[in-house]
Amino acid sequence: MASANCWRCLARPSQRLLLPASIFTPATSTISAAFTTSAAQLSRAAPTVKTAQKQEAGLSRHIRSGKRLTLGKKKKRQADRSKPPASGERKAFRKRIQLSNDNALEVPGLGQLTAENIVDSSSVGQVIGLPPALVDQLRASEAFKPTQNWGLFRSPHMLIRKETVDLATQLTDAIGKKETLRLVITGDRTSGKSILGLQALATGFLNDWIVINIPEAQELTTAATEYSPIPNSEQFSQPVYIIKLFQAIYKANYAVLSQLRVELDHMQLPISVNRGTTLAALASATKEPEFAWPVFQAFWKELLLPGRPPILFALDGLSHIMRISDYRSPDFELIHSHDLSLVRLFTDALGGNTKFANGAAILGVCTEGNSPIIPSMVKALEQAKAAQEGQPIPPRDPFFAKYDERVFDALKGVKVLNIRGVSKPEARSLMEYWAASGILRMRVDEKNVSEKWTLAGSGILGEMERVALYDVRTST
């Protein structure tokens, strides 16, 4: 019997096979085999309800509230059995001063600093050593700074700059006339202001003056030391710091103070001080903090009597005492720095309110590395410098209403000594000393001196040390 369809139609693919299965299969139905022999494949193809709940619980486990995610096993920390540092040990290590290095070469042929050659203009550009007795006095007064590279050399030496001779000459001339020199040292950062202040202190020690030095003014105003109100006064004393200052004065000026006698009656003191007692004994008379400020007042009155040696009063970090301090009064109001008794003593001397019958030098050193910006101090020094040079005094900014009159009173009429970089001959002399000490490994000629002098910003001492001393590893 013949077929109803032709053989060509049978060879063609069926239209049902060409269309998608979703047209013929309902959306709600699922395709599954009627019979299977693989239970494992069936379980993977259709997970149970419990398995799905477990998987969801595992995915959301890390976001459950009150749970802490632990990525690994907890390891027990080993107990630190090392001995903790004692009280003040970290600060002592941070502020340690190393003034000699046995590994450095000894430089022969260098002279010693004296009271004569520090004011001699022919000494400019020379590197001169410090006598051992002077080193002990400067160390006792904390004139050396931890940031200065004294530990790179065999013994302490310093460069006599043109500014050194000018400053020493001003000091000796003013005190020789029994006048008071009120001077503020300013300059760029790392230009050698603290070294110049050290040279001023050395001038005082070499001339047998009474030298009082406050090495860090920020220790007086940053609420780092104890303080207490003075009875019947608006000022506040810092007894612990005053005792520390007494100890420094005693060690540094013992040779002079041991020859001076007490001439006034100090019946109001809580300790007995008789006439004829040496000022060295008066400086070391008190160990109790509550008696420190009255004894210091008596000591200061003795120094101001006629016939006493001249006084050199220096302070490093002048801008820190020209602002509101971090201390608070019993009413919880901030205390002005000039209401602190020791700071008031210095500002009265710097402002010209204290009369010195035997001559004195009041020296304030500014710092640029760690100092607040005080607009009143900047304007007061600008006016003082203009008056010193005979130029028109710049007026105050009329749109700035936060000028501090107490700062202007403290800096009224002071002289300003601005420090810049050293000259090329001074830089060459310094580099020759570095090379002779064995720490500068290059030829000291005109080319290298000009190169280091230019890279150091026209002879800034701190920058010269960076470009010349700290590249030893790269030059080897």
Count of helix runs (H) and strand runs (E) in the chain: 21, 11
Average pLDDT over residues 79-99: 83
Q: What is the pLDDT of residue 475?
A: 43
The angle formed by the CA atoms of residues 308, 309 and 311, to the nearest 5 degrees, is: 115
Looking at residue 362, its amino acid is: I
| Sign for the pseudo-dihedral over CA of 170, 117, 136, 94 | positive
If DSSP codes are grouped into helix, strand and coil, which group holds residue 65? coil
pLDDT tens by residue, 151-170:
889 999 999 999 999 999 99
Reading the block at residue 306, the tokens are: 């006629």
Q: What is the pLDDT of residue 473?
A: 41
pLDDT level of residue 91 (50, 70, 90 thresholds): confident
Above 80 in pLDDT, residue 69? Answer: no
**Max Cα–Cα distance, the chain, nearest Å:** 157
Q: What is the pLDDT of residue 388?
A: 93
pLDDT tens by residue, 414-462:
999 999 999 999 999 999 999 999 888 889 999 999 999 999 999 999 9
Above 80 in pLDDT, residue 22? Answer: no
pLDDT level of residue 24 (50, 70, 90 thresholds): very low
Above 60 in pLDDT, residue 43? Answer: no
pLDDT tens by residue, 125-156:
999 999 999 999 999 999 999 988 898 899 99
Lowest mean pLDDT among 44-58, 196-210, 326-340: 44-58
| Pair 140, 252: CB distance under 8 Å | yes
Q: What is the pLDDT of residue 23?
A: 47
Q: What is the pLDDT of residue 6?
A: 57
Above 50 in pLDDT, residue 331? Answer: yes
| Pair 245, 231: CB distance under 8 Å | no
Q: What is the pLDDT of residue 88?
A: 83
Lowest mean pLDDT among 31-35, 181-185, 284-288: 31-35
Q: What is the pLDDT of residue 47?
A: 54
Buried b (16+ CB within 10 A) or exposed e, 85-105: eeeeeeeeeeeeeeeebeebe
CA 394 vs CA 185, 389, 457: distances in Å = 20, 12, 28
pLDDT tens by residue, 223-238:
989 999 999 899 999 9
Q: What is the pLDDT of residue 246?
A: 94
The angle formed by the CA atoms of residues 25, 30 and 36, to the nearest 5 degrees, is: 120
If DSSP codes are grouped into helix, strand and coil, which group holds residue 365? strand
pLDDT level of residue 27 (50, 70, 90 thresholds): very low
Q: 411, 416, 442: which is closest to 428 by C-alpha? A: 442
| Pair 215, 143: CB distance under 8 Å | yes
Distance CA 24, CA 16 (A): 9
- Pairing of β 157-159 and β 127-129: antiparallel
Average pLDDT over residues 64-81: 66
CA 14 vs CA 18, 20, 239, 398: distances in Å = 7, 12, 110, 100
Average pLDDT over residues 11-20: 53
When comparing pLDDT for 13 and 431, which is higher? 431
Lowest mean pLDDT among 39-48, 91-100, 233-242, 377-386: 39-48
Q: Beta-carbon neighbour count of residue 2 at 10 Å?
A: 4
Looking at residue 419, its amino acid is: I
Segment (H or E) for 184: strand 180-187
Distance CA 454, CA 457 (A): 5
pLDDT tens by residue, 269-327:
888 888 889 999 999 988 888 899 999 999 999 999 999 999 999 999 999 999 999 99
- The total number of residues written for the chain in this structure: 476
Lowest mean pLDDT among 62-76, 172-186, 408-422: 62-76
Euclidean distance between the first and final Cα of the chain, in Å?
Answer: 110
When comparing pLDDT for 46 and 446, which is higher? 446
pTM for the model stands at 0.80
Which residue matches tokens 């020493």?
Answer: 168
Q: What is the pLDDT of residue 467?
A: 87
| Sign for the pseudo-dihedral over CA of 157, 162, 167, 169 | positive
